[in-house]
Amino acid sequence: MNIHYLAQRLLRRPTCSLAEGAKLYRTARISNKSGDDSRIRIGNNSVVLGELWTFASGGRIQIGEWCYVGAGTRIWSGVNIMIGDRVLISHNVNIFDSLTHPVNARGRHDQFRAILTSGHPKKIDLGEQAVTIGADAWIGANSIILRGVTVGTGGIVGAGSVVTKDVPAYTIVAGNPARPIRELTPSERD
């Protein structure tokens, strides 16, 4: 079991909801600033080695069944990140459903000061837009999925890609910005 998770539970700090067979490995980190365990849900038999983070201003992360979240991966939510069943998210992936900081310089400075002095602000506009990753998707190492993106069922994101637009179902995308490479054949969809 993950020592960080156990320590947070002993200190009565919010963590996450773990379904039967779900595992947090030693490298996993849960930072639930929203204050509600149900805001981060990890489905049956899923494995998390990365970081799951909800902001104090909101956020929800739902990971389906039989998913994998690799080491060094960061999934940060200010509104909603939904990950379907059987999704593989490789190492060092970043998934953000917000800008993470205000766009204007004064707003960024005010947010930074608040974080240092009183914690993450509970009210802040970070341009939140939900992210959805459909069932059976595969997100390659070192990729970035940005706010408002939907990766369709069976979609594949090539390693090192920056995804700024929706990925159609059963399509491989790659590059910066990510562009369609090809559709999966019928036999590759099983």
Rounded to the nearest 5 percent, the helix, strand and coil shares of the chain are: 15, 30, 55
- Tell me how far apart the alpha carbons of residues 86 and 64 are, in angstroms, rounded to a whole number: 7
Does 101 participate in catalysis according to the annotation?
yes
Given the residues 4, 101, 109, 120, the one annotated as active site: 101
Residue 9 C-alpha from the chain's centroid: 22
Task: Tell me the catalytic residues.
Answer: 101
